[in-house]
Amino acid sequence: MTIPNALVLARLKEDAGSEARFWALFGGCPHVILEDKGSIETDLLKEYALKIRLRVFEAADRSFFRKRHSAARSLKIMRDAIVDISLLNQADFVLAPLGERLPPDRFPAEGYNEAVYAFLSDLIDFLTGCGGLVMCCLKMSGEYHLFLAGNSANLADGTLYDVIPTFLDLAGLSKPDDMKGTSLII
């Protein structure tokens, strides 16, 4: 069975108490603070979705993100879907852009951050327990933090352009020529 590598992109609301829980969650995971330069080129990654068996949670999953769902409910549905596609071997990679799908300004800070924390905690436990990898790029207090769960690689300093090349490197894939940035794996 192939367990997907997962790339999760999220923004938190300003809430120092919840941020402390994220630091506890990622503990000894490799971590680097990225310069806020350039962009995270997820659109270019999506172009290779079929080639690399990438499952992207976006328009096709709009039922996850209807306004009547709370952040917690939406993320629980997404988490269960990722577990299901993992168990059914339907993907090698998963892209879950939470900041785009569940914009923080739609939810109270505490409820939103708690929902993201629970989502990541469950996903990390499941995927790393099966030999998978979770790479998270979180925006906290105006800074972008990149964490790796399930991998002990050393990371170099970098910018937002380097997020996707790093993900591809971890997945054993070559970076497309037209993709900016370089892998942060040392």
pLDDT in tens, the chain (186 residues): 689 999 999 999 988 788 899 999 998 899 999 999 999 998 888 888 888 899 988 655 666 666 667 888 888 888 998 999 999 999 999 999 998 888 888 888 888 999 999 999 999 999 999 999 999 999 988 899 999 999 999 999 999 999 999 999 998 888 888 889 999 999
Which stretch of DSSP H or E encloses residue 94?
A: strand 93-97
C-alpha separations of 71 from 30, 117, 162 in Å: 27, 11, 28
Q: Which fold has domain 5-170?
A: Alkaline Phosphatase, subunit A (3.40.720)
Q: For the chain, which residues make up each domain, given as ranges?
A: 5-170
Do residues 173 and 53 make contact, with C-beta atoms less than 8 angstroms apart? no
CA of residue 184 relative to chain centroid, distance: 16
Output DSSP code: residue 53.
T
How many Cβ atoms from other residues are within 10 Å of residue 54's Cβ? Answer: 20
Q: Are strands 143-149 and 31-35 parallel, antiparallel or unpaired?
A: antiparallel
Distance CA 83, CA 18 (A): 25
How many Cβ atoms from other residues are within 10 Å of residue 97's Cβ? Answer: 18
